Amino acid sequence: MFMELTPWLPALFGLGLATMLLILAFIVACEKV
């Protein structure tokens, strides 16, 4: 079961990380406002 789900798990894990990194970038954007 775990192996069958491997494509989904890292994709969603990456999606979460990417969103958090986007939020980090928002800090920089706010500084530039």
Partner 1 sequence: MWQVWLLPALIVVVSVLLSVPTGFYLAWIIDGRYKPPRWLRLVETRLDTGPQNWKAYAVALVLFNLVLFVVGFVLLSLQSVIQFLNPDSKGMLAPTTIFNTVASFLTNTDLQHYSGEQHLSYFSQVFVIIWLMFVSAGVGFCALAAVIRGLRGDPHMGNFYLDLWRVVVYVFLPASLIMGVILMAAGVPMTFDGAQKVAPLEGGEQTIARGPVAALVPIKHLGTNGGGFFGANSAHPFENPNALTNFLTCVNILIFPMSLVVMFGRLIGNIRQGLVIYGVMLSLFVVMIVWGVRWDTLAPNPAFTGLPIDQGLGNLEGKEMRFGTSAGATFSAVTTAVTCGSVNCMHDSLNPLAGLTPMSGMWLNCVFGGKGVGLINLLFYLIIGVFLAGLMVGRTPEYLGKKVEAREMKLAMLALLVHPILVLGPTGLFAAKDWGNKATNNPGAHGFSEILYEFSSASANNGSGFEGLGDTWGFASQTPEDKSAPPPYPYSRQWDIATGLVMLLGRFLPIIAPMAMAASLARKKHTPFTSGTLRTDTATFGFVLLGTILLIGALLFLPAAMLGPVAEHYGPIPFGK
Is residue 33 within the footprint of partner 1 (CB under 8 A)?
A: yes
Burial 8-32 (b: 16+ CB within 10 A, else e): eeeeeeeeeeeeeeeeeeeeeeeee
CB of 30 to partner 1, least distance (A): 4
**Per-residue x/- marks for partner 1, 2-31, CB under 8 A?**
x--x--xx-xxx-xxx-xxx-xx-xx--xx
Residues 3, 32: Cα–Cα separation, whole Å: 44
Residues of this chain that interact with partner 1 (CB under 8 A) are: 1-2, 5, 8-9, 11-13, 15-17, 19-21, 23-24, 26-27, 30-31, 33
